[in-house]
Structure 1
Amino acid sequence: MQHRVRSLTGTAIRHFLLPAIVATLYACSPVSPKALQKNFRQTEVALQEHVGFVLYDPLKKEKLADYNGNTYFTPASNTKIFTFFTSLKLLGDSIPALKYVVRGDSLIFWGTGDPSFLYPFVFTNGTAYTFLKGAPQQLYFAADNFPTAFYGPGWAWDDYNDYYAAERSPLPIYGNLATFTTAGSAVQVEPPFFRTSILPEALQKKPAIIRNLDQNQFIYHPGAQPSTRTFTIPFKTSSVLTAQLLGDTLKRLITVLEKPVSRLGTKTLKGIPTDSLYRVMMQDSDNFIAEQLLLACAGMISDTLKPEIAINYMKQHDLHDLVDDPVWKDGSGLSRYNLFTPGAIVQLWEKIYHTVPRERLFPLLAIGGSKGTIRSYYKGGTPYIYGKTGTLSNNHCLSGFLVAKSGRLLIFSFMHNNYTASTAIIRQHMQETLKKIYENY
């Protein structure tokens, strides 16, 4: 018993001192490749974690620093960088909103994966809504192009009630999310279609809305002290529900065609500019958009909305020369099965940089001290970090571009895995490192 108390106390002291340890490591440290490697080794010991880092000059084609650059890490939302590049290569300047064919008095339409239909977090021009609303034919929704599971491989099933784990579907509507606003015992929901699916229950002290795992029943717990709250919950998708939601919104009858339908003569209705989607995906790390974009990419090279089609195509074509073969399982990075190396991610950013002009690219990314998931970090005058974060429990990554004080453009990938310290401490370590590189390169 005495040994256990001593061990717990040591652990508590160690975690208490971690911020000071990190600050000490970087207080006076130089930024030469050898010094960086030494500091990364010390950090791995101090934080009991794994660190990967690559720094690269794309103009000189020179690797400036490499620590575990060919070691595989869980990338979390750095996976979206792969989805971003795939979309840039396959989608063009506008996302396909619908595929359709007119046969007699019938308009048959297929989803393309477009995430923007009535999704409140992106710009929408109402193209698909106006088209379907005004069509003189009877409307038939064909769902035979979507053989994909609603969750990706390696997703955590118990995230089903969290907004960031919306289900994948061929024709999403409202982002496959229901938004509940509570005030005491009263509950309002958008879309109103779900207002009869709310069941009150007073079993929890804290206010909550919890969906039944397998169906769209939403249990409302007002809590011990009811208050005005907003809850955003994924709903359970199906082709029938899609038709019902569309019909409720368009005020029209939508009939579902479950059997395969001939696609001879199919046309494509173009939707919103793809940059509108890329910006939200890359800055706010929107998982739903990422997953749907990968489906849309698959639809550009096949008749089937299956992410593996797009992944395999890219690995055989534009990504065939990556220094380390990516283990790539989904569009968003929710999967714990994804594995990438810092070296491959840096190489990917270089490909992106040669695909998209800098003046278009940088405004689409998270910007240190200004936009997206790093708006509260990497501050200090003119922004110098442009990139993409990635966070899962015990994992945090940041990869992208660093514009040094000298004006020199660098590409980096910084990956931390399997730590038990707080992510705030990991982020502090990363900020100290990147700031010194900014000042000295």
Structure 2
Amino acid sequence: MGIIRFLFCTFEFMKNLVLIIVLIFLVSSCGSKKSLIKKNLDQRLTSAFYENQFTGVLVIDANSKDTIYNLNDHKYFTPASNTKIFTLFTAIKTLPDQIPTLQYIDRNDTLYFEGTGDPSFLHPYLKDSTAFKFLKSKKNLVFATDNFMDTKFGPGWAWDDYQYYYSPERNAFPLYGNVVMIHKDTSLLVSPTYFKDSILQIRNTKNRKETSNLFFYPPNYADTLEIPFIINTLNTKAILEQALNKPILNRSKMPIGTKQTLPGIQADSLYVRMMHESDNFIAEQLLVLAASTLKDTLNSGLAREYILEHELNQLAQTPRWVDGSGLSRYNLFTPQNMVHVLNELFVLVPKERLYSIFPAGGSSGTLKNRFKGVDQPYIFAKSGSLSNNYCLSGYLLTKSGKTLIFSFMNNHYKNATSDERTQLELMLQTLRDNY
């Protein structure tokens, strides 16, 4: 019995010793990987290329939450369209699987309805017809117009962007993506046709007159122009009447009573377009939609305040968050902010769905021609760019099978943005190959 006990104790000792050696090896290996990554990224980020710009980085292991690399990760940056990551989180937290496309009260053969901010109604790319068919089926329509309690442009938006496709006005009941689409085939094709007599085929320094819905389309121009139109109650009513081919009455408020909600397009259709195409209009309207589900007032500020107070009150730094799209330079976020929300999404959303919403490097959306993997995508991330600013935040799959959450934020450079992307890609490849 003594020999058996001795052999058993010896076996247990050797087993524990092997386990300790393995753990030491793993810790040492992990430490050496981090050391190699730190050395490589330090060398790049202290090179002459980055000398006159401001850069912040945070990279963590998605499962262990260990910090792999950080630099200025607590400091504020202009995020540009990285802001849409916060908008995505807000939408997923507040909106149902089907977007609430309008609210209504059906009473005495009359349908009273109001907008929720849904951007999909007659949208040229989304092509959802739910609300259209619903309104078309009703005999008498009364449109309640005064539930939008926000500004048509976001704080800090560039005033001269009014003419460009990426800067449509915000409102309660968007139509056709709030842009006029003009294309020349054998004749001039205009959508919505309500504006067909407002197009001048002349060259002009602007696409639209600043103060009115007068649009300019250059002769011999071959491509489609998308130009935001000025929104008011009269033209919203007229465009809707023309689309439905029936008269509509207006009133300021809905009648007293219980409102019903009409479910519309699948929410992920909006999320994918927002993230893949960096669609500013959809981003802005998603915050309006979020507000409509929280309160009976359409104001995007309500949605931002709610999320920061109730869902993101553990952020290490309080961001300055003023719009849904990132068009404003007033926005200020840290790399820690971005990684925190990306981690919340990583925990909340199944991976297949999450990665389908984000652009994939070398494969889809705004990353289709950038950050390409060898056999398959290894980057699923949102880019953000304004003049002299480029940010990229998202998820990175390493060759060893690990998942990293990262945020690289670059502000105030005078290099070409293509060169910024090249330098960033080299660092992402270092992470992919060495962790």
Both structures adopt the same fold (TM-score exceeding 0.5): yes
Task: Give the Cα–Cα distance (whole angstroms) in 1 for the partners of residues 256 and 277 of structure 2.
Answer: 36
State the one-letter code of the partner of 1:281: M
Equivalent residue for 1:354, pick from 333, 342, 347: 347
Task: Give the Cα–Cα distance (whole angstroms) in 1 for the partners of residues 134 and 402 of structure 2.
Answer: 48
1:301-320 correspondence runs (5 A) = 301-320=294-313
- Alignment partner of 1:418 is 2:412: yes
Task: Give the Cα–Cα distance (whole angstroms) in 1 for the partners of residues 416 and 53 of structure 2.
Answer: 12
Contact 1:240/1:256 (<8 A) preserved: no
C-alpha deviations, 1:236-284, integer Å up to 9, x for none?
1112211111110000111221x33345211000001101110111111
Gapped regions of structure 1 (runs ≥ 5): 1-29
Distance 1:344 1:44, change over 3 A: farther
Task: Give the Cα–Cα distance (whole angstroms) in 2 for the partners of residues 31 and 139 of structure 1.
Answer: 67
State the one-letter code of the partner of 2:212: Q
Corresponding residue for 1:250?
Answer: 244
**Rg larger in structure:** 2
Contact 1:74/1:338 (<8 A) preserved: yes
- Alignment partner of 1:240 is 2:234: yes
1:165-204 correspondence runs (5 A) = 165-182=167-184, 187-202=188-203
Contact 2:114/2:254 (<8 A) preserved: no
Corresponding residue for 1:32?
Answer: 37
Question: What is the deviation of 1:218?
Answer: 1.1
State the one-letter code of the partner of 1:195: K
Task: Give the Cα–Cα distance (whole angstroms) in 2 for the partners of residues 112 and 44 of structure 1.
Answer: 47
Equivalent residue for 1:135, pick from 124, 138, 152: 138
1:369-388 correspondence runs (5 A) = 369-379=362-372, 380-388=374-382
Task: Give the Cα–Cα distance (whole angstroms) in 1 for the partners of residues 49 and 300 of structure 2.
Answer: 35
Equivalent residue for 2:125, pick from 117, 121, 127: 121
Residue 210 of structure 1 aligns to a residue whose secondary structure is coil
Contact 2:94/2:293 (<8 A) preserved: yes
1:210-221 correspondence runs (5 A) = 210-221=207-218
State the one-letter code of the partner of 1:115: P
Corresponding residue for 2:430?
Answer: 436
State the one-letter code of the partner of 1:273: Q
Question: What is the deviation of 1:37?
Answer: 2.9
Question: What is the deviation of 1:31?
Answer: 4.3
Task: Give the Cα–Cα distance (whole angstroms) in 1 for the partners of residues 256 and 116 of structure 2.
Answer: 13
Q: CA RMSD in A?
A: 1.6
Corresponding residue for 1:148?
Answer: 150
C-alpha deviations, 1:144-172, integer Å up to 9, x for none?
21021110001011011110101111110
Equivalent residue for 1:328, pick from 308, 321, 343: 321
Residue 165 of structure 1 aligns to a residue whose secondary structure is coil
Corresponding residue for 2:29?
Answer: none
Distance 1:98 1:45, change over 3 A: closer
- Alignment partner of 1:88 is 2:92: yes
State the one-letter code of the partner of 1:213: E
Question: What is the deviation of 1:227?
Answer: 4.0
Distance 1:227 1:247, change over 3 A: same
Task: Give the Cα–Cα distance (whole angstroms) in 1 for the partners of residues 348 and 256 of structure 2.
Answer: 33
Corresponding residue for 1:4?
Answer: none
Corresponding residue for 2:70?
Answer: 66
Contact 1:209/1:220 (<8 A) preserved: no
C-alpha deviations, 1:147-205, integer Å up to 9, x for none?
21110001011011110101111110110011111369x53211111111123445x5x
Corresponding residue for 1:99?
Answer: 103
Corresponding residue for 2:4?
Answer: none
1:43-62 correspondence runs (5 A) = 43=48, 45-46=50-51, 48-62=52-66
Task: Give the Cα–Cα distance (whole angstroms) in 1 for the partners of residues 153 and 327 of structure 2.
Answer: 10
- How many residue pairs align between the two structures? 400
Contact 1:123/1:276 (<8 A) preserved: no
1:261-280 correspondence runs (5 A) = 261-280=254-273
Corresponding residue for 1:294?
Answer: 287
Gapped regions of structure 2 (runs ≥ 5): 1-34
Contact 1:101/1:109 (<8 A) preserved: yes
Task: Give the Cα–Cα distance (whole angstroms) in 2 for the partners of residues 353 and 200 of structure 1.
Answer: 50
Distance 1:345 1:43, change over 3 A: farther
Task: Give the Cα–Cα distance (whole angstroms) in 2 for the partners of residues 182 and 127 of structure 1.
Answer: 29
Task: Give the Cα–Cα distance (whole angstroms) in 2 for the partners of residues 49 and 121 of structure 1.
Answer: 38
Residue 224 of structure 2 aligns to a residue whose secondary structure is strand
Distance 1:40 1:279, change over 3 A: same
Normalised to the residue count of structure 1, the TM-score between the two structures is 0.88
State the one-letter code of the partner of 1:191: P
Task: Give the Cα–Cα distance (whole angstroms) in 1 for the partners of residues 200 and 277 of structure 2.
Answer: 32
Contact 2:379/2:397 (<8 A) preserved: yes
Task: Give the Cα–Cα distance (whole angstroms) in 2 for the partners of residues 359 and 200 of structure 1.
Answer: 47
Task: Give the Cα–Cα distance (whole angstroms) in 2 for the partners of residues 270 and 331 of structure 1.
Answer: 22
Question: What is the deviation of 1:305?
Answer: 0.8
Question: What is the deviation of 1:61?
Answer: 1.7
Normalised to the residue count of structure 2, the TM-score between the two structures is 0.89
Corresponding residue for 2:46?
Answer: 41
Equivalent residue for 2:337, pick from 323, 344, 348: 344
Residue 327 of structure 2 aligns to a residue whose secondary structure is coil
Contact 2:164/2:207 (<8 A) preserved: no
State the one-letter code of the partner of 1:312: E
Contact 1:77/1:389 (<8 A) preserved: yes
Percent of paired sites with the same residue: 43
Corresponding residue for 1:398?
Answer: 392
Equivalent residue for 1:110, pick from 109, 114, 135: 114
Task: Give the Cα–Cα distance (whole angstroms) in 1 for the partners of residues 221 and 357 of structure 2.
Answer: 37
Task: Give the Cα–Cα distance (whole angstroms) in 2 for the partners of residues 183 and 357 of structure 1.
Answer: 45
Corresponding residue for 1:8?
Answer: none
Distance 1:432 1:327, change over 3 A: same
Residue 164 of structure 1 aligns to a residue whose secondary structure is coil
Task: Give the Cα–Cα distance (whole angstroms) in 2 for the partners of residues 209 and 118 of structure 1.
Answer: 26
Task: Give the Cα–Cα distance (whole angstroms) in 1 for the partners of residues 188 and 206 of structure 2.
Answer: 10
